[in-house]
């Protein structure tokens, strides 16, 4: 098989034993173009090897790849990998409410065939954020063959007494911000009280598994598909009305080398 020449199934020739079933003749290749060759072999009760041989125009002998020619191959260069491949890379950060990195969060790189309709992405690689909340992917996957997404699944983590004390000080000093509607108003009443502090301690001690009131424990957006949401929340101009919606957890239609920062606000956490 030689791909990219426009023939049905890319087939140039196929054989059964020493018999030729089908062969195309006068197949022309351009010396300045890379082509992908594929050779398949299936054996049953007979010879168990195959040779890839070719003859240059007006040549008198066949040249065998990996055979008696060694690494000297007339006609052109040969490579076991696609020399025109564009390896998929991506990087970014997961940051908390105070715009500090969140460590230990899992990030997923998922792929599906290029230009495939619908969504059937599967995990191709994972990364874990470092102490700065940074993640990166440097893959051998060819961007020419795959579309990819970046998915996150942030975890709430364990609450700390230092964070709860920080919220208590804010409550006593009546110093609150937009972000506090997501991280301090844990009982989802739309206001702040000692009840929120009490519930945080209950959660930290393991006495409750979730907060009452149906509040969202993890709020999330990103800088790529929702570039206006985080500035509104960070600048104290939103009080829990900016819902993140589509694209906050997964990034689609990405150009190779994408760099994105995810912002995550976790109930009961300062950052």
pLDDT of residue 246: 42
Residue 191 is encoded by which pair of tokens?
Answer: 């206001």
* Of 235, 229, 259, nearest in space to 93 by CA: 259
Residue 250 is encoded by which pair of tokens?
Answer: 């997964």
pLDDT of residue 247: 46
Q: Packing angle between helix 161-173 and helix 194-204, nearest 10 degrees?
A: 180
Rounded to whole angstroms, the Cα distance separating 206 from 156 reads: 13
Residue 8 is encoded by which pair of tokens?
Answer: 């049905």
Residue 265 · residue 219 · CB < 8 Å: yes
For the chain, which ranges sit under pLDDT 50? 245-247
Rounded to whole angstroms, the Cα distance separating 106 from 85 reads: 27
Residue 156 is encoded by which pair of tokens?
Answer: 């709430």
Torsion sign over Cα 43, 46, 49, 51: negative
Rounded to whole angstroms, the Cα distance separating 6 from 163 reads: 63
- Specify the pTM: 0.69
Question: In the chain, how long is the greatest CA-to-CA distance?
Answer: 92
């Amino acid at each position: 098989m030689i791909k990219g020449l426009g023939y049905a199934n890319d087939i140039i020739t196929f054989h059964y034993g020493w018999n030729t079933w089908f062969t195309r003749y006068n197949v022309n290749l351009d010396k300045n173009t890379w082509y992908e060759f594929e050779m398949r072999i299936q054996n049953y009760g007979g010879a168990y090897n195959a040779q890839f041989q070719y003859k240059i125009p007006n040549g008198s002998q066949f040249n065998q790849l990996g055979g008696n020619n060694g690494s000297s191959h007339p006609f052109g260069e040969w490579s076991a990998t696609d020399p025109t491949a564009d390896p998929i890379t991506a990087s970014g950060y997961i940051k908390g409410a105070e715009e500090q990195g969140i460590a230990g969060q899992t990030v997923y790189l998922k792929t599906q065939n290029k230009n495939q309709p619908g969504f059937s992405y599967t995990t191709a690689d994972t990364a874990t954020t470092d102490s700065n909340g940074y993640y990166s992917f440097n893959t051998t996957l060819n961007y020419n063959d795959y579309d990819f997404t970046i998915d996150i699944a942030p975890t709430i983590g364990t609450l700390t007494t230092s964070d709860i004390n920080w919220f208590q000080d804010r409550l006593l000093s009546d110093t609150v911000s937009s972000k506090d509607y997501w991280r301090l108003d844990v009982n989802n009443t739309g206001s702040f009280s000692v009840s929120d502090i009490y519930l945080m301690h209950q959660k930290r001690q393991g006495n409750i598994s979730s907060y009452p009131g149906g509040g969202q424990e993890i709020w999330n957006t990103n800088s790529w598909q929702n570039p206006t949401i985080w500035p509104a929340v960070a600048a104290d101009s939103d009080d829990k009305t900016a819902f993140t919606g589509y694209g906050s957890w997964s990034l689609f239609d990405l150009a190779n080398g994408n760099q994105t920062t995810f912002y995550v606000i976790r109930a009961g956490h300062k950052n």
